[in-house]
Amino acid sequence: MAQTRIGPGIVVRFALPREELRPYVTTYYYAEARCSEREPVIEDYLHPEWPNMRFIRTARCECAIGTEALRPVPTFAATGPTSRPARFAIGSGQMWGIGLMPLGWAALVEGEAGDYVDRFVDGLADPAFAAFHSLARALDEGEAGYDAGLAIIEQHMDRIFAAGDPARTVESGPIRAINAALVEPDLATVAELAERVGMTVRSLERLTRRAFGFTPKLLMRRQRFLRSLAQFMLDPSLKWLEALDCQYHDQAHFVRDFKRFMGMNPSDYTRLDKPFLVAAARARMEIAGQAVQGLHRPQGAS
């Protein structure tokens, strides 16, 4: 099952993993940029996300997370969970991506998510991402295009899960429980989150750093922001006040969060061209039921 969206100069396609993998993987996605001499790159911003493994086949791809300067992206870019905007510029070419749920990170990556927050690294140079090294090489050497790439990814992921049970981690149940609670809009406090998942606040903090990257307080703040952003992305005709999550006290409260997570005012964001983001949000919504990766439910699309 796949969904395609076409924006100015870019084609975005999403595919769901098979059902058994959905607690670990949000989607597989493919982007093809078609630039011109007049406009040699496409630029856009990514909002905060769960971790992503991206495999790049372009002459030019640069990215900057938060306030850092644009820098070249490696052919296998492993990005941890983010709480800052990721600005990118991409030339003609292709990119494959695998979005990981927090449980996917805990099962497949040999490192704490908290050590990779708000940054990307060369996945081939980092042993923490060894599970994806052969996939990166296969995609680089394989036939270009959506169908060929998706087949390589699906075969690789099937081999990983056939080789052993990623759910062997003793934290599998608690990670799923925390993830499930975080996507519920009625969750208001860290104490409530700890009670809902049956953990002490200290134990909750240790586990969220390992698998989610951030403190429970920041995770809840980020989820509240993403729910509001997703509403606006799907219907830009809305006023920001109409898109606000129920947890916001007022518009000023939301503006503070917007500056924290996107590094700009909502009005500045509204004026930006978003060729990739808009196409991706609509394609993701149609196939997975959520416009942004951070709102995926831990058992898959619903």
Task: List, for residues 228-239, the tens digit of each pLDDT value.
Answer: 888 887 777 777
Share of the chain above pLDDT 70, in %: 94
pLDDT confidence band for 302 (50 / 70 / 90)? very low
8: pLDDT strictly greater than 70:
no
Mean pLDDT along residues 243-271 = 89
Higher pLDDT, 255 or 240: 255
The residue that leads in pLDDT, 238 or 192, is: 192
Cα 209 from chain centroid (whole Å):
17
Residue pair 94/31 in contact (Cβ under 8 Å)? The answer is yes
Which range, 2-6, 71-75, 164-168, has the best average confidence (pLDDT)? Answer: 71-75
Judged against a pLDDT cut of 90, whether residue 179 lies above it is answered with yes
pLDDT of 241 above 90: no
The yes-or-no verdict on residue 301 having pLDDT over 60 is: no
- Enumerate residues 6+ apart whose C-beta is below 8 A from 295: 183, 223, 226, 227, 230
* pLDDT class of 153 with cuts at 50, 70, 90: very high
Give the model's pLDDT for residue 223: 93
What is the pLDDT, as a whole number, of residue 300? 45
| CB under 8 A, 24+ apart: contacts of 217-222 | 217/190, 218/83, 219/182, 220/182, 220/187, 220/188, 220/189, 220/190, 220/193, 221/257, 221/260, 222/48, 222/83, 222/261, 222/294
Q: Provide the pLDDT for residue 73.
A: 97
Q: Which of 87 and 275 is assigned the larger pLDDT?
A: 87
Question: Lowest-confidence range among 1-10, 104-113, 138-147, 202-211?
Answer: 1-10
> 175 lies in which domain range?
1-302
Return d(Cα 99, Cα 296) in angstroms, integer: 10
If pLDDT is split at 50, 70 and 90, which confidence band does 170 have?
low
Domains identified in the chain, total number: 1
Q: Averaged over 35-61, what is the pLDDT?
A: 91
Region 84-98 average pLDDT: 95
Q: How many CB atoms lie within 10 A of CB 148?
A: 12
Largest CA distance in the chain: 57
Alpha-carbon dihedral sign for residues 155, 157, 158, 162 = positive
